[in-house]
Amino acid sequence: MRGILRPDFQYEMLQDIQAEDLQANGIKGLILDLDNTITPWNDRTLTEDVIAWFKKVNDAGIKACIVSNNRGPERVSAVADVLEILYVYRAKKPQKKAFLRGIRVLDIPESEVAVIGDQLFTDVFGGNKLGLKTILVSPIAQREFPGTKVLRFMERLVGRKAKYTRTIKS
């Protein structure tokens, strides 16, 4: 059980992920979680740092697609438009089909796609189920969807590390 909940890489935040490292790992497409990965939960605030990071990724020839469980498209599309990236909403992560929709939109082979998100039980678990590379980041803010608090408790039970260093799954 633990193996499928273990990310390939862990970072403190999106901006710590180097585009060169993604390229070195053969990654040409990114499936990104929205809430608490790109923006604070239920918020559309984008920091200059985050906008600059997406520009760097784009300049490196890496395509990005938000895959969000948000039920409506408004906030997801607003953020995607600012970042000039693709999006999928009402995705139903951690179901495989959520990630498959992202891969289809990216139009990049599965072996070259990585998932980036802040949750073990949706982003990492779902990505690992499909054999995608998975990258875990710390949540941007403490505030989140009430249901997520239960998942956070479970994350601690399975030993989610509090400290993030660049580690590779062995």
* Residues within the interface to Mg ion (CB under 5 A): 33, 35-36, 118
Cα 123 to Cα 7, 60, 165, distances in angstroms? 9, 23, 18
- What is the maximal distance between C-alpha atoms in the chain? 40
Instruction: Report how far residue 156's alpha carbon sits from residue 29's, in angstroms, rounded to the nearest whole number.
Output: 29
Q: Which lies closer to Mg ion via its Cβ, residue 27 or residue 116?
A: 116
- Structure tokens of 89? 């909403």
- At its nearest, how many Å lie between Mg ion and the CB of residue 72? 16
- At its nearest, how many Å lie between Mg ion and the CB of residue 13? 13
Q: Which lies closer to Mg ion via its Cβ, residue 108 or residue 116?
A: 116
Q: Three-state DSSP class for 57?
A: helix
- At its nearest, how many Å lie between Mg ion and the CB of residue 122? 7
Q: Which lies closer to Mg ion via its Cβ, residue 35 or residue 155?
A: 35
